């Protein structure tokens, strides 16, 4: 396969360049302006060089609920030292074998290098949870990579007048799956005793529910969860605390701007239906026993 000619499905925001400050009213418009399209490696490099942001395909506004697919994986290197320099990154084994390009980010300086590695895939990933798992895996292969930039609705800023190094390769999805399985097999396995004992949360019935939930949530990493489980945790908080649980949910969930608030507004009042998620759902997950169904 000629990597330079290979086209991928990717969304480009052509109406904005540069970073938007947190809380700026422009965020709403920004998230509505990503256009789903196909482009090859040189075209993507040009959009990045012009300073335009890029993301996976969404149906309408860029948010996790609207995710359609993604055909690229991006690794953010913000260490500000040689590990984040193009010269070092281009010699990384994964980059040499399957990397598509490396570009400096808007915060890059010669004294404190920062860059992003892009892997263009031969096929799209259509499920948000699988994309997130793949992105976390690839990021974990780079010393100092930012593993918080791996959710399926994540966008990446372009960088006007960036330094861009074209590697020219494409990562086959079959190879990515094989590498992921091999990596997973090498990860240490926790024993049931560790999960339910020292690793689990201990709860007291005389504690206020907010304190119990906060303690349990401290044992759960939202970035390591499947999206459906993440939503179930939010549902359980809402079931137990109603709208008063929103600050607790916001502190834990680490969602994209406005995402947690929208979820809370979508939950209906409890009807005590069979199988409904409750605080017990969260306690079970935090104790290592899995979900209550």
Q: Output the pLDDT for position 219.
A: 85
Are 42 and 154 found together in one domain?
A: yes
Residue 89 burial (C-beta neighbours within 10 Å; 0-12, 13-18, 19+):
buried
Which pLDDT value is given to residue 206?
A: 57
Q: Which of 56, 51, 17, 53 is nearest to 37 (CA)?
A: 56
Please, which pLDDT band fits residue 185 given cuts at 50, 70 and 90?
A: confident
Note whether 115 and 224 are same-domain residues. no
Note whether 175 and 198 are same-domain residues.
Answer: no
Does residue 201 have a pLDDT over 60? no
**With bands split at pLDDT 50, 70 and 90, how would you rate the model's confidence at 200?**
very low
* 223 in the same domain as 133: no
Asked if pLDDT for residue 256 goes beyond 80, the answer is: no
| Residue 291 falls inside a structural domain | no
Give the pLDDT band of residue 122 (cuts 50, 70, 90): very high
Range(s) of the domain holding residue 56:
8-186
pLDDT at 34 over 80: yes
Q: Is the pLDDT of residue 204 over 70?
A: no
The domain boundary, picked from 138, 169, 186, lies at: 186
Confidence of residue 93 (pLDDT cuts 50, 70, 90): very high
191 pLDDT tier (thresholds 50, 70, 90): very low
Task: Tell which of 129, 152, 186 closes a domain.
Answer: 186
pLDDT band at 255 (very low <50, low <70, confident <90, very high): low
- The pLDDT of residue 224 is 67
pLDDT at 166: 97
- Judgement on whether residues 140 and 91 belong to the same structural domain of the protein: yes
**Residue 213 lies inside a defined structural domain of this protein:** yes
What does the pLDDT read at residue 268? 77
Q: For 161, which DSSP code?
A: T
Of 117-131, 156-170, 211-225, the one with minimum mean pLDDT is 211-225
What DSSP assignment string belongs to 164-231? EEE----B-HHHHHHHHHHHHHHSPPPPHHHHHTTTSPP--TTS-HHHHHHHHHTT--GGGS-HHHHH
Please count the structural domains in the chain.
2
The answer to whether position 293 is within a domain reads no
pLDDT at 89: 97
Q: Are residues 60 and 74 in the same domain?
A: yes
The domain boundary residue, chosen from 126, 156, 186: 186
Confidence of residue 229 (pLDDT cuts 50, 70, 90): confident
Distance between the two ends of the chain, CA-based, in angstroms?
A: 46
If asked whether residues 180 and 196 sit together in one domain, one would say no
Per residue in 75-85, is it b (16+ CB within 10 Å) or e — as a string?
Answer: bbbbbbeebbb
Residue 100 domain flag: yes
């Amino acid at each position: 396969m000629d990597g330079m000619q290979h086209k991928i499905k990717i969304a480009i925001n052509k109406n904005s360049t540069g970073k938007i400050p947190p809380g700026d009213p422009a965020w709403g418009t920004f998230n509505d302006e990503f256009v789903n399209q196909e482009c090859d490696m040189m075209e993507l490099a040009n959009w990045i060089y012009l300073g335009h942001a890029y993301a996976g395909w969404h149906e309408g506004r860029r948010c996790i609920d609207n995710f359609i697919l993604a055909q690229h994986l991006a690794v953010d290197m913000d260490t500000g030292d040689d590990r984040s320099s193009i010269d070092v990154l281009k010699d990384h084994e994964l980059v040499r074998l399957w990397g598509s390009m490396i570009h400096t980010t808007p915060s890059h300086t010669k004294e404190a290098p920062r860059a992003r590695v892009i892997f263009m895939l031969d096929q799209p990933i259509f499920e948000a949870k699988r994309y997130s798992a793949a992105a976390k895996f690839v990021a974990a292969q780079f010393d100092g990579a930012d593993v918080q930039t791996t959710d399926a609705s994540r966008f990446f800023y372009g960088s006007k007048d960036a330094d861009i190094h074209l590697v020219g390769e494409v990562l086959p999805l079959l190879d990515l799956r094989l590498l992921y399985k091999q990596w997973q097999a090498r990860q240490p396995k926790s024993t049931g005793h560790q999960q339910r004992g020292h690793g689990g949360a201990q709860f007291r019935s005389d504690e206020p529910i907010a304190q119990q939930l906060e303690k349990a949530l401290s044992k759960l990493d939202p970035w390591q969860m499947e999206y459906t489980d993440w939503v179930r945790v939010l549902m359980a908080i809402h079931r137990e605390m109603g709208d008063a649980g929103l600050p607790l949910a916001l502190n834990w969930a680490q969602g994209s701007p406005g995402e947690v608030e929208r979820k809370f507004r979508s939950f209906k009042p409890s009807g005590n239906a069979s199988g409904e998620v409750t605080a017990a759902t969260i306690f079970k997950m935090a104790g290592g026993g899995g979900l209550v169904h």
